[in-house]
Amino acid sequence: MKKISILALYLLLVLFSGCMRSVQLNERAIVQAVGLDWKDSEYALTMQIFDPEAAQGDDTSGGKMLRVTGKTISQAMRNANLKQGQEIFWGHTKLIIIGEQIAKDGIESVMAYFNADAQSRPNIDVLIADGEAGEVLSEPLDSTILPVLSTKMMLEGYQDNGKLVRSQLRGILGSLENPAVGAYLPMAAFSGDEENPGIQIVGTAILRDGRIAGTFSPEETRGILWAAGEVGKTQLTLEDNSLGVTTLDVVDSDVTVTVHIRDGMPFYEVLIQIKSNVSEELSPVQGLSLAERCDRYEKEQQQLVSQETEHALERLFHELSCDALGYANVLMQQQPEYWKANKDHYTASLKDILFSVTVNSTINRGGTTVS
């Protein structure tokens, strides 16, 4: 009886293994980046496919473009498989660019498609195109080497300069699950520079209910980063008639958000801690010691960070009625009874919500470079 059971199990394994087809690497089209647009009542997908043969040449990008359309994304993907002659593979995709029209109509369906695909990675960078995603993605291909890799480096550069909010698939999916919370994504365009063509960041798109509610300039974006606690190592430039021009290297920053209920409304207290080094002083004021100059730099830094943060919160809450920062989660945790009673009206109440910004500014007295 035992032998019969083992034989039956063996036959089942053989039968099931015969039904499963393994896909070899050379049978797959490896997608490095994809742009999605809504045109003429259908999806238009522009995909950069890794081409190992092209990558061996000296004057090629290692990629080729594939353009397909479909009434749904799934249909477009079936058309891509037929047109490419290989199975589309998302496992190495590094970049998703969503066309401006889709962002205006709502990105939920696009995000849901990639979330449902088992091959999709949660750390894929997601951008909003200033115009059509296909144009942003395909324009620089013939002029740059591995444009997706150079774009990833560009994103890191903007992030280091405090002009980019990095948005990845998992974070966007999380924000879409909570209707009270919005999202922010970088906006990208093709630079058009003949000498250095490529993708550049032109601002930040603020999404409410999965749709664009407004945009921030790259300079305004840093205020979002302060309020969200996402400013890493960046530089600040202080300009003062008496102090000259000073460059500060931010070495550490953090934010703590506390919420109280005042007169029946949430009141957010935002506390920002920032530490910086003085990296350069141009024409500093004479007669002041380093310690005295640093005292004044601390005040200048405090004012700058406060202004940028307050401006961002003012626009998000009072102008756009959008909690893209996810402060609703703080309210839910710290004031659960209020949240339970008022969560359905939270978004509508944002225009009346109050906040305060306090900045603790510290300058390292260890030394400076004077020019």
Of 51, 53, 75, the closest CA to residue 65 belongs to 51
Of 67-76, 86-95, 252-261, 308-317, the one with minimum mean pLDDT is 86-95
pLDDT tens across 187-240, in order? 988 876 666 666 788 899 999 999 999 999 988 999 999 999 888 778 898 887
- Over 80: is that where the pLDDT of 13 sits? no
The rounded distance, in Å, linking the Cα atoms of 128 and 114 is: 16
Of 7-16, 35-44, 320-329, the one with minimum mean pLDDT is 7-16
Please give the DSSP secondary-structure letter assigned to residue 20: P
pLDDT tens across 26-64, in order? 567 888 889 999 999 999 999 988 766 555 544 445 568
Of residues 33 and 144, more confidently modeled: 33
**What percentage of the chain carries pLDDT values higher than 70?**
78
Mean pLDDT value across the chain: 82
Q: Which residues pair with 281 in a beta bridge?
A: 246, 370
- Over 80: is that where the pLDDT of 15 sits? no
**pLDDT at position 138:** 75
Which contiguous run of DSSP H or E holds residue 95?
strand 95-98
- Over 50: is that where the pLDDT of 11 sits? no
**160-164, long-range: CB < 8 A, 24+ apart:** 160/232, 160/233, 160/234, 161/234, 161/235, 162/221, 162/222, 162/225, 162/231, 162/234, 163/201, 163/218, 163/219, 163/221, 163/222, 164/201, 164/204, 164/218, 164/221
Of 11-15, 89-93, 133-137, 272-276, the one with minimum mean pLDDT is 11-15
**pLDDT at position 70:** 96
**pLDDT at position 152:** 66
In three-state secondary structure terms, 119 is coil
pLDDT tens across 60-99, in order? 455 688 899 999 999 999 998 888 888 888 888 888 999 9
